[in-house]
Amino acid sequence: MLHLGVNIDHVTTLRQARYRTMLDSPNAEPSVLQAALESEAAGAQSITVHLRADRRHIQDADVYLLRKSIATKLNLEMGNTPEILAIALDVKPDFVCMVPESREEVTTEGGLDVRAHFAALKPTVAALEANGTRVSMFIDPDLDQVRASHEVGASMIELHTGTFANHFGAEREAEVARLKAAAELGHSLGLQINAGHGLTTKNLPDLRAVPHLHELNIGHHIVSRAVFIGLRAAVAEMLDMMKTYPAA
**Residue 247 DSSP class:** P
CA neighbor of 56 nearest in space, from 96, 12, 98, 86: 12
DSSP 167: -
Rounded Cα distance, 232 and 22, in Å? 22
Question: Which residue out of 50, 150, 160, 221 is catalytically annotated?
Answer: 50
160 among known catalytic residues = no
What is the secondary structure of 193-223 as a DSSP string?
EEEESS--TTTGGGGGGSTTEEEEEE-HHHH
Q: Are 47 and 97 in contact (CB under 8 A)?
A: no
Catalytic-role residue among 197, 214, 215, 221:
197
Which of 40, 77, 101, 175 is labelled catalytic? 77
Residue 237 known to be catalytic: no
Contact 72, 32 (CB under 8 A): no
Instruction: In whole angstroms, give the CA distance from residue 111 to residue 53.
Output: 18
- Kindly report the number of other CB atoms within 10 A of residue 192's CB atom: 18
Q: Catalytic: 197?
A: yes
Active site residues: 50, 77, 197
